Amino acid sequence: MAVLHQFDYIFAFGVIFAFLDAWNIGANDVANSFATSVSSRSLTLPQAMIIATFTEFLGAVLAGYVACATPSWTMGSPLTMCVRQWQFACRRHHPQQDHLDQLLRG
């Protein structure tokens, strides 16, 4: 297999943006879960940040694999997922058309 070093920068940008995206999703989760506690003054902002630091880290370490593996178990391949979405959309608009299964089966 050929190694294409001229495209390493694309991989690096992808890793950086994936990290930033995951960081932002985690920040949004924390904001959703702690906003009411902080705004009602049940917790101070530093207390919420300390609790969130530990809970987010432990959640990612202990349950991260399951969260990442679930889509592959439930959806299958991307092609299968696209076919299922197409089936759902067509049946939603044309429920009497049973020929969709025949078209998809071959």
41-62 average pLDDT score = 88
99-104 average pLDDT score = 57
pLDDT at residue 95 is higher than 60 = no
Cβ burial, residue 18 (10 Å; 0-12/13-18/19+): exposed
69-82, pLDDT tens digit by residue? 666 656 566 666 66
The torsion angle over the Cα atoms of residues 11, 59, 36 and 50, rounded to 10 degrees, is -90
pLDDT at position 25: 85
Q: At what angle do helices 45-74 and 8-39 cross, to 10 degrees?
A: 130
pLDDT at residue 98 is higher than 90 = no
Please indicate whether residue 89 or residue 46 has the higher confidence score (pLDDT).
46
Contact 60, 69 (CB under 8 A): no
Task: Look up tokens 């939603």; give the residue.
Answer: 92
